[in-house]
């Protein structure tokens, strides 16, 4: 049994290749990461250091919180795939499991969030970071290419 199925058994029966399923998972994770950003901003006002930051620094603080949460997610999902996912262990290159699909779709949602957040920040603060933006756009393209290879 995969990690996704352990979280909720109906995740085993979903057809992950359907466009609406992809949209729900990607859109849901995008909204989740946006909510984490907002909650981080609200909760961080309790910290004096945060209140002393300029607006741009507050944005990057909150983005760091979102990135940390995504990092924990990836660590858990990656560890599961390496140590406990029997299908992935047997065929690392071609294994497709619900856990793998969920991980990819959440990753797309995360990079969409990052792209939107960094582009918005660039527009609002009048500073453009071409390497950061290129990183996010290339990441989105990589995921799209991986998905087409299925």
Q: Tens digits of per-residue pLDDT, 9-46?
A: 788 888 988 999 999 999 999 999 999 999 999 999 99
- pTM for this one? 0.84
Question: Which residue is listed with tokens 């497709």?
Answer: 96
Tell me the backbone φ, ψ of residue 76, rounded to 5 degrees: -65, -50
What is the token pair recorded at 48?
A: 């004096």
Q: Tens digits of per-residue pLDDT, 124-141?
A: 998 887 887 788 778 777
DSSP line for 82-133? HHT-HHHHH-TTT---HHHHHHHHHHHHHHHHHHHHHHHHHHHHT---HHHH
pLDDT at 57: 95
**Contact, 129 vs 122, CB < 8 A?**
yes
Q: Tens digits of per-residue pLDDT, 76-113?
A: 988 887 787 776 666 555 567 788 888 889 998 998 99
């Amino acid at each position: 049994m995969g990690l996704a199925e352990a979280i909720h058994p109906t995740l085993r029966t979903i057809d992950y290749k359907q466009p609406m399923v992809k949209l729900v998972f990607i859109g849901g994770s995008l909204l989740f990461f946006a909510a984490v950003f907002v909650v981080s901003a609200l909760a961080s006002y309790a910290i004096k250091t945060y209140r002393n930051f300029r607006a741009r620094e507050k944005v990057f603080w909150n983005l760091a919180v979102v990135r940390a949460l995504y990092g924990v997610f990836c660590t858990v999902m990656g560890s599961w795939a390496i140590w406990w996912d029997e299908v992935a262990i047997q065929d690392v290159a071609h294994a497709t499991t619900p856990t793998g699909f969920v991980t990819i779709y959440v990753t797309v949602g995360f990079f969409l969030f990052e792209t939107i957040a960094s582009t918005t920040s660039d527009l609002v603060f009048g500073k453009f970071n071409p390497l950061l933006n290129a990183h996010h756009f290339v990441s989105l393209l990589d995921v799209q290419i991986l998905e087409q290879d299925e």
